[in-house]
Amino acid sequence: MKDNFVVTIAGGGSTYTPGIVMMLLENMSRFPLREIRLYDNHHQRQKTIGDACAILVAERFPQVKFSYTTDPQAAFTDVDFVMAHIRVGLYEMREKDEKIPLKYGVPGQETCGPGGIAYGMRSIAGVLELVDYMQQYAPGAWMLNYSNPAAIVAEATVACGPTRASSTSAICRWLSRVCSPTSSACRRAKR
């Protein structure tokens, strides 16, 4: 096992990113880090959140290198893990995903219903772009995806082929496999 890791947080301009950075720093004894990189394709959001996170890292663990960028090569080269929590279309599209179906009497939100499907269709391309960057710049890296809708995104990345998505992990997909009636773990639990 490595002594310390390099992690890229994709969707680094999100207001949820400081919480992820804090979680990583609070678990340094269990998951030691050499470097944290933030990546986002929206420069201003990335700068605002990146500047705030730079202060957090410098105050708590100054030995951890920290950077933020909109350049995929700088973000993904030689990373060990990519934590993906992207929101394609930002909150403007989330609002449409939720309100348009309601106009027709159909409930739903970002993980289910027509809005979830629409969001999933947008998210798939964004996550596959991240997978491509990983293949190009860090082929041994693992992706921990929690971009919603996680189940739709996980299925799509796996459907693109084992080479492209073999290092993508999604909790929803893993649980669906473990809890499947045909899984050995589920059969053992029923005994």
Q: Where along the chain do its domains lie?
A: 5-190
pTM exceeding the 0.85 threshold for the entire prediction: no
Binding-site annotation: residue ranges for substrate: 94, 148
Of 36, 150, 42, the C-alpha closest to 92 is: 42
Please state, in angstroms and rounded to a whole number, the distance separating the CA atoms of residues 66 and 144: 19
Q: Which CATH architecture has domain 5-190?
A: 3-Layer(aba) Sandwich (3.40)
Contact 126, 134 (CB under 8 A): no
> Checking phi first, is residue 30 left (phi over 0); if not, alpha (psi -120 to 50) or beta?
alpha
Phi, psi torsion values for 47, nearest 5 degrees: -65, -45
Q: Give buried/exposed letters for 40-60 (b at 16+ CB in 10 A, else e).
A: bbbeebbeebbeebbeebeee
Q: Residue 1's pLDDT is what?
A: 57
Q: What is the pLDDT of residues 44-86, one digit of tens each?
A: 999 999 999 999 999 999 999 999 999 999 999 999 999 999 8
Binding-site annotation: residue ranges: 94, 148
Pick from 55-59, 85-89, 116-120, 181-185: least confident = 181-185
